[in-house]
Amino acid sequence: MDGFNVRFVPMKGELPAGDSKVFASGFAGPNPVMAPNNAAYRPVGITQAPDGSIYVSDDAKGRIWRIRYVGSK
């Protein structure tokens, strides 16, 4: 199953404007997922913070993941 990634979809107005790309992966865990309840985590909600961080909610273990860019200064 390939439903445990967070994907970026470019938009033009309210419509998709290109191919989607995996933005964050690894939520399924190290083993193949044979059923949805076997995934280590299930990303279900996403929002962006004022600082640009992305928050992803997980309904398998009740976590909130924060994704942020850390680059060289």
Question: CA 71 to CA 69: how far, in whole Å?
Answer: 6
Task: Give the tens place of pLDDT for each residue, 14-38.
Answer: 999 999 999 998 888 877 888 877 8
Task: Give the tens place of pLDDT for each residue, 34-70.
Answer: 887 788 888 999 999 999 999 999 988 899 999 998 8
With CA atoms as reference, report the closest residue to 24 among 36, 38, 41, 7.
7
* Amino acid occupying residue 12: K
